[in-house]
Structure 1
Amino acid sequence: MHYSLLLHYTEQDATTLGEEAIQAGQAAFSAYTRALQDAGVLVSAEVLQHSTATTTLRKVDGELVIQDGPFADTKEQLGGAIVIDVADLDAAVDWARQAPPIDWGVVEIRPGATYTVDGAWTSNG
């Protein structure tokens, strides 16, 4: 099943973050993407189901909290999306908890509604 990992975090520019933080973030994303590729779960873009189908992960006082439904906070923006193909929501949660932004933002998991394979539309699930 296809899931999109929607990465939400506070937007900052290069001068606010600093070169060291930018390089560390790039290294973290490179390692994460490599792990997804090595596991054979990395896919491409797809149309998403309604936001009511969302499951949201965050850390509160160092503890993982899983919430049914979307998360909205005006200071955090969608910074990127990763589409994976895994067996179920539990597997998507396992990959989402490893996404670098979980330490500084929110990772939202949304099941895909449809996707394309060689130009043909397919239903998800």
Structure 2
Amino acid sequence: MLYAILCYNEENVVATWTQEEDDACMARLMDVQSGMAGKGKLGPVVRLWNTDEAKTLKKTNGDPVVFDGPFAETKEQFLGFYVADCADMDEALEFTRELAKANPGTGSYEIRPLRFFGDNKLKSTELLSVAAE
């Protein structure tokens, strides 16, 4: 089953990291990712731009309204995500625990099973092979 592992942290803290601190964190995360990738179980890994680059389209009774930034005002921001092919939630949690060890400071990870809907023909193995290219 595919799981999305959503990464949250305080963007204002992460944005203050030096280039060396950021590079070191990314290197540690790459070490963790390589284990899942080596098993052919890691799909897309995405790091989002900062929230000041975001727009939110809010549906209303009339025309949608576009706002600058993310919709939610929260202490932690959604900074990126992983897609991993795990046998069950226990395996997804094990992978996520390793990611958490590699990433300093506070923050959180939300783990959610993925479901396909509509006419989407992309299957789990296709998603993972596309990410590997």
TM-score by structure 1 length? Answer: 0.62
| Post-superposition offset of 1:107 | 0.9
Quick check: which has more Rg, 1 or 2?
2
Distance 1:10 1:96 in 2: 18
| Post-superposition offset of 1:94 | 0.7
| Post-superposition offset of 1:121 | 4.8
Indicate the structure with greater strand content: 1
Match of 2:108 in 1: 106
Over 3 Å counting, the alpha-carbon distance change for 1:84 and 1:97 in structure 2 is same
Question: Which aligned pairs between 1:31-46 and structure 2 lie closer than 5 A?
Answer: 31-44=31-44
Residue segments in structure 1 that go unaligned for 5+ positions in a row: 46-71
User: Residue 9 of structure 1 contacts residue 101 of structure 1 at CA under 8 Å; is this kept in 2?
Assistant: no
Over 3 Å counting, the alpha-carbon distance change for 1:73 and 1:94 in structure 2 is farther
| Post-superposition offset of 1:96 | 0.8
| Post-superposition offset of 1:30 | 1.7
Question: Which aligned pairs between 1:14-29 and structure 2 lie closer than 5 A?
Answer: 16-29=16-29
| Post-superposition offset of 1:93 | 0.6
TM-score by structure 2 length? Answer: 0.59
User: Residue 3 of structure 2 contacts residue 111 of structure 2 at CA under 8 Å; is this kept in 1?
Assistant: yes
Match of 2:3 in 1: 3
Match of 1:120 in 2: 121
Distance 2:78 2:15 in 1: 20
Residue segments in structure 2 that go unaligned for 5+ positions in a row: 46-71, 125-133
Distance 1:105 1:14 in 2: 10
Pairwise CA RMSD: 3.1
| Percent of paired sites with the same residue | 31
Match of 2:79 in 1: 79
Over 3 Å counting, the alpha-carbon distance change for 1:23 and 1:121 in structure 2 is closer
| Amino acid in structure 2 at the alignment position of 1:84 | A
Distance 2:13 2:104 in 1: 19
User: Residue 4 of structure 2 contacts residue 112 of structure 2 at CA under 8 Å; is this kept in 1?
Assistant: yes
